[in-house]
Homo-oligomer: A and B are copies of this chain.
Amino acid sequence: MSRPLRQPREELRQSILDAARGILDREGMEGLSARAIAREIDYTAATIYNVFSSMSDIVMEINRETLAEVALLFSALPKDLSAADRLRALSKSYVCFMQDNPARWNALFGGNRERESFPNWYTGTIEGLKLQLAHLLIEHAGDLDRVRAEKLAEHLFVSVHGALTLGVGRRLDLLTQRDTLDVAMSGVELILNSLTAEAGKL
């Protein structure tokens, strides 16, 4: 077996990530292995460990890209909509993105976490998304203190997360005939309703 031409480190790194991304999107998490990546880029599994120190580091790198895409999604909101409609649009595009990329979802949120601590780009991005949700909620219902807004944003995130977990894991049909987006969006409406109802009472 002939040794492949040398590649600069950074280039090889990118080849590995490209291959990994491809396999992940094509065959899902269970198809992603060091040997599969090596096969694809015409190297040996051991070579991968000269660049990444573990498989989970590779997955983490893909997660970084995924989170960046999600953050982009969150930042690309039409400015002319009401806060409620922007929240709806946001939720919808998030759910659709994850539903269209189930393997990315599994890489990001599947299984129990292995790391004790997450890098800043990870925690920071999620914190940012949460704050953006909270901001939209405050804009939607002005009389809403920061703490409560964040709690509601957390609830929003959690309930959408539940719908996506069940949906992507193909277990939502155990509970309902509705599809993932429908379930997630009715959760959004529930929060919006609860805010307007409360505002009407005061």
Instruction: Identify the A interface with B (CB < 8 A).
Output: 28, 106, 109-113, 118, 122-123, 126, 130, 150-152, 154-155, 157-163, 165-166, 168-171, 174-176, 178, 183, 186-187, 190-191, 193-194, 197-198, 200-201
Contacts and interface: CB of A to CB of B under 8 A. Distances in A.
A5 to B, nearest CB: 38
Contacts of A111: 110-111, 169
Nearest to A108: B171
A112 B174 contact: no
6 contacts: A106-B112, A109-B171, A155-B190, A157-B175, A161-B166, A193-B198
The interface residues of chain A, by DSSP majority, are classed as: helix
Contacts of A187: 155, 158-159
Nearest to A191: B190
Nearest to A123: B174
A174 B122 contact: yes
A83 to B, nearest CB: 19
Contacts of A155: 159, 183, 186-187, 190
A150 to B, nearest CB: 8
B190 A201 contact: no
Contacts of A163: 158, 162
